[in-house]
C-alpha cells in the first residue's frame, strides 16, 4: 500500500473559486464564512494529521436553514461538501478536498431541552459530547457514549462515526442511544426522523444514518437517551504475568454472567509509560493489566468486585487491587486517562482500531507484536478489552515521510490480521480515508456495491464527503 491519494480535483470548480465565494457571501452572513489562507488552515486536517488539504472555503452555519441553503447551493452547482464536527476524526473522516467546501457544525451548540420524565435530551448537533452529560448531570442523568475525545468531539461527529467509548460494553454505542435526528440532505431537503420515543416508524433510517460518515447528509439536531447515573462506581486493578492470562480473564468474567461497565487492557509498555507520566501506582512487574469497573451501591460494588476477584484467581493474577475509595478509584483511572497524552509525549503514534473476537485476544496480541517487530516499530496496547476493540499504538516519527509510509503498511497488516481472526477493520473510529482501500479485505464486491447503492439514495451525485469509506478505484462505474 502506498500513501493514500485524494481524487484529482475538478479544475472547473477550482477555477470558479472567486465566483463561488461571492455567491456564498450572498447566502450566509460574512461571519459564517472563512476564505482566507490562515483561517482555512485550521480546517485542512483532522486528528489524522498526516494528511492535509486546503478546501475552497469553510462555512460555519448557525441554523438548520443555513445548512439547507448552503447544501442546496452546492448541490445545484455540483460543488463537493465535506461535513465537519470538531475535527477529531482519527480516520480522516473530516479531511477536506481541494475542490470542496467544508461545512462545520461547531457553532450549533445549544442544548434545546432536557426532559427528565421521558429521559431524553434534544440538542443541536454541534454540541460537544461532554456538554450533553454536563447539562443532564444537574438532574442526575448522563449521556452514555463517551469517546476519549469527548471534551472536544461533537454529537454530529459521534453520529457520523457511530462513536463508542470506554463504557459502551454496558451502555452501547451512539446508535443505541439515539432517538431522533434532523438531517439536511445534499439537495437541501430537511428530514425529521424519530421522536421522543423508543422506535421510529418505517425503515430504520436513524440506524442507517448513524455511522454513515457524513455521506448521507448533515445532522443538525438530535434527540438522545439519557440514563440515570448509578449510585456509585469503582474499579479494580488486576495484574497478570502474561497477556494470555489477562485476555482469558476477560472472557472468564463475561462467562461468569458479569457485564462490567468497562474492562480496559494495558500491556507492559503501556503500563510503564502511564506510570512514569501519572504516577498512578501501577504494578511495573506485570506483563498485562486490566482495569475492571462495576456500578451500584457500595455493598453491590463490593460484592461484584469480590466475585470478579474470585474469577480472576483462576488465571493466576499477580496483583488484585479493588478500589476501596473514591481516591483509589481516581488514582487507578488517572494513568489510563493520561495514556494517550503520555504516549504522545514520548513519540508520535498511529492509533489503530481493529476489533477481534475475544477468544483470539492472546493470538492477536502476539501477532501484532510480531508484525510491529518485523516493521521495526515499538507498539503500545491500550484498549477496551470487553468488546475486543484493539487500539495498538504504533510509535513512529511523523516528520519522516518514509517512516509514516512504513507505519501505514504496518497498520494495514494489523487490520488485515483482525479481519482474518474474524473481526473487523474499525470498531469506533470509522473508515474515513484511512481504511478506504482496505474495505475489500473485509467485504466482497457485492457487499460494497450494496453499500454504495445506499449512498446514492441520499446523495445521487456523490457530492457529500465523497472520497471516503469506499475504494476509489471503480468508483466511476457506480
231 binds other proteins (CB under 8 A): yes
Interface pick for other proteins out of 40, 72, 119, 318 (rule CB under 8 A): 119
Q: How far, in Å, CA of 114 to CA of 131, rounded?
A: 12
d(CA 179, CA 156): 14
Kindly tell me which of 86 and 233 has the beta carbon lying closer to other proteins: 233
CB nearer other proteins, residue 234 or residue 384: 384
Cα four-point dihedral sign 380, 384, 388, 391: negative
Q: Shortest Cβ distance from residue 71 to other proteins (Å)?
A: 14
- Give the length of the chain: 478
C-alpha span between 82 and 96 (Å, rounded): 6
- The answer to the question of residue 173 lying near other proteins (CB under 8 A) is yes
CA atoms within 13 A on the CB side of 478: 23
Q: Which is nearer to other proteins, 203 or 325 (CB)?
A: 203
Nearest to 70 by CA among 218, 215, 201, 210: 218
**Per CB under 8 A, 431 contacts other proteins:** yes
Which residue reads 482555512 in cell numbers? 40
State yes or no: residue 193 binds other proteins (CB under 8 A). yes
138 touching other proteins, by CB under 8 A: no
| Beta carbon of residue 333, minimum distance to other proteins (angstroms, whole number) | 20
Residue 367 near residue 333 (C-beta atoms within 8 A): no
- Return the residue of 39, 52, 113, 197 that touches other proteins, per CB under 8 A: 197
| Orientation of helix 64-76 relative to helix 17-27, angle to 10° | 150
Question: Per CB under 8 A, which region of 6-14, 68-76, 283-291, 355-363 contacts other proteins?
Answer: 355-363
Task: Considering the complex, state which of residue 6 and residue 449 has its C-beta at the smaller distance from other proteins.
Answer: 449
Tell which residue, 167, 413, 369, 166, has the closest CA to residue 268. Answer: 369
Judged by beta carbon, residue 194 or residue 235, the one nearer other proteins is 194
Cα separation, 80 vs 87, in Å, equals 18
Of 440, 377, 442, whose CA–CA distance to 405 is shortest?
A: 377
**Please, what is the minimum distance in Å from the beta carbon of residue 72 to other proteins?**
14
Distance CA 244, CA 237 (A): 17
**169 binds other proteins per the rule CB under 8 A:** yes
Closer CB to other proteins, residue 20 or residue 71? 71
Judged by CB under 8 A, which of 13, 132, 251, 292 binds other proteins? 251
Count how many Cα atoms sit within 13 Å of the Cα of residue 361 in the half-sphere of its side chain: 28
Shortest reach from residue 56's CB to other proteins, in Å? 27
Judged by CB under 8 A, the stretch of 79-87, 325-333, 394-402, 434-442 that binds other proteins is: 434-442
**Residue 472 binding other proteins, by CB under 8 A:** no
Residues 2-31 that bind other proteins (CB under 8 A): none
Using CB under 8 A as the binding rule, the residues of this chain from 366 to 425 that contact other proteins are 384, 386-389, 422-425
For 219, phi and psi rounded to 5 degrees?
A: -80, 125
**Do 224 and 178 meet the contact criterion of CB atoms below 8 Å apart?**
yes
Buried b / exposed e along 124-134 (16+ C-beta atoms within 10 A): bbbbbbbbbbe
Number of residues that bind other proteins (CB under 8 A): 93
- Binding of other proteins by 92 (CB under 8 A): no
* 188 part of the interface to other proteins, by CB under 8 A: no
Does 164 interact with other proteins (rule: CB under 8 A)?
yes
Looking at the DSSP assignment, which residues form a beta bridge with residue 58? Answer: 34, 102
Q: How far is the CB of 88 from other proteins (least distance, A)?
A: 15
Smallest separation, CB 216 to other proteins (Å): 9
Q: 3-state DSSP call for residue 70?
A: helix
Q: Cβ closer to other proteins: 212 or 331?
A: 212
453 lines the binding site for other proteins (CB under 8 A): yes
Out of 413, 451, 462, 472, the residue judged to bind other proteins by CB under 8 A: 451
Is 167 a binder of other proteins (CB under 8 A)?
Answer: no
Sign of CA dihedral 300, 294, 162, 120: positive
Q: Applying CB under 8 A, does 363 fall inside the site for other proteins?
A: no
Q: Which is nearer to other proteins, 230 or 269 (CB)?
A: 230
Among 254, 339, 364, 365, binds other proteins (CB under 8 A): 254
Please state, as a whole number, how many other Cβ atoms lie within 10 Å of the Cβ of residue 60. Answer: 21
Cell representation of residue 232: 456509585
Burial class (CB in 10 A: 0-12, 13-18, 19+), 440: middle
Residues 288-317 that bind other proteins (CB under 8 A): 296-297, 299-300, 303-304, 307
Is position 439 an interface residue for other proteins (rule: CB under 8 A)?
yes
Question: Per CB under 8 A, does 236 bind other proteins?
Answer: no
Amino acid at each position: 500500500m502506498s500513501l493514500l491519494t485524494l481524487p484529482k480535483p475538478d479544475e472547473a470548480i477550482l477555477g470558479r473559486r472567486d465566483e463561488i465565494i461571492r455567491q456564498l457571501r450572498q447566502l450566509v452572513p460574512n461571519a459564517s464564512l472563512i476564505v482566507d489562507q490562515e483561517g482555512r488552515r485550521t480546517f485542512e486536517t483532522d486528528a489524522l494529521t498526516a494528511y492535509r488539504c486546503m478546501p475552497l472555503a469553510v462555512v460555519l452555519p448557525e441554523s438548520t436553514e443555513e445548512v439547507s441553503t448552503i447544501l442546496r447551493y452546492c448541490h445545484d452547482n455540483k460543488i463537493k461538501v465535506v461535513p465537519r464536527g470538531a475535527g477529531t476524526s482519527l480516520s480522516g473522516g473530516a479531511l477536506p478536498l481541494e475542490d470542496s467546501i467544508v461545512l462545520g457544525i461547531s457553532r450549533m451548540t445549544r442544548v434545546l431541552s432536557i426532559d427528565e420524565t421521558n429521559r431524553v435530551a434534544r440538542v443541536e448537533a454541534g454540541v460537544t459530547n461532554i456538554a450533553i452529560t454536563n447539562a443532564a448531570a444537574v438532574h442526575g442523568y448522563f449521556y452514555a457514549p463517551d469517546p476519549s475525545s469527548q471534551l472536544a468531539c461533537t454529537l454530529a461527529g459521534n453520529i457520523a462515526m457511530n462513536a463508542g467509548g470506554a463504557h459502551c460494553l454496558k451502555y452501547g454505542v451512539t446508535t443505541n442511544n439515539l432517538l431522533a435526528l434532523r438531517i439536511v440532505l445534499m439537495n437541501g431537503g430537511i428530514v425529521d426522523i424519530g421522536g421522543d420515543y423508543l422506535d421510529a416508524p418505517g425503515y430504520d433510517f436513524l440506524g442507517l444514518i448513524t455511522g454513515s460518515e457524513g455521506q448521507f447528509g448533515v445532522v443538525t439536531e438530535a434527540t438522545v437517551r439519557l440514563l440515570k447515573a448509578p449510585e456509585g462506581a469503582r474499579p479494580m486493578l488486576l495484574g497478570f504475568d502474561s497477556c494470555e492470562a489477562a485476555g482469558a480473564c476477560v472472557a472468564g468474567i463475561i462467562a461468569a454472567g458479569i457485564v462490567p461497565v468497562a474492562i480496559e487492557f494495558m500491556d507492559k509498555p503501556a503500563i510503564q509509560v502511564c506510570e512514569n507520566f501519572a504516577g498512578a501506582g501501577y504494578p511495573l512487574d506485570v506483563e498485562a493489566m486490566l482495569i475492571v469497573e462495576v456500578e451500584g451501591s457500595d455493598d453491590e460494588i463490593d460484592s461484584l468486585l469480590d466475585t470478579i476477584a474470585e474469577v480472576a484467581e483462576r488465571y493466576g493474577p499477580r496483583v488484585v487491587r479493588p478500589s476501596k475509595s473514591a481516591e483509589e478509584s481516581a488514582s487507578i483511572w488517572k494513568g489510563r486517562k493520561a495514556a494517550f497524552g503520555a504516549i504522545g509525549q514520548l513519540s508520535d503514534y498511529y492509533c489503530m482500531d481493529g476489533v477481534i473476537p475475544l477468544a483470539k485476544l492472546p493470538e492477536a496480541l502476539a501477532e501484532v507484536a510480531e508484525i510491529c517487530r518485523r516493521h521495526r516499530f515499538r507498539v503500545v496496547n491500550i484498549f477496551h478489552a470487553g468488546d475486543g476493540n484493539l487500539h495498538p499504538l504504533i510509535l513512529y516519527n511523523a516528520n519522516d515521510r518514509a517512516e509514516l509510509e512504513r507505519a501505514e503498511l504496518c497498520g494495514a497488516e494489523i487490520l488485515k490480521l483482525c479481519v482474518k481472526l474474524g473481526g473487523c477493520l474499525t470498531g469506533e473510529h470509522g473508515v474515513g480515508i484511512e481504511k478506504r482501500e482496505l474495505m475489500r479485505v473485509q467485504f466482497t464486491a457485492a457487499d460494497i456495491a450494496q453499500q454504495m447503492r445506499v449512498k446514492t439514495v441520499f446523495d445521487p451525485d456523490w457530492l457529500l464527503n465523497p472520497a471516503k469509506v469506499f475504494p476509489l478505484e471503480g468508483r466511476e462505474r457506480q
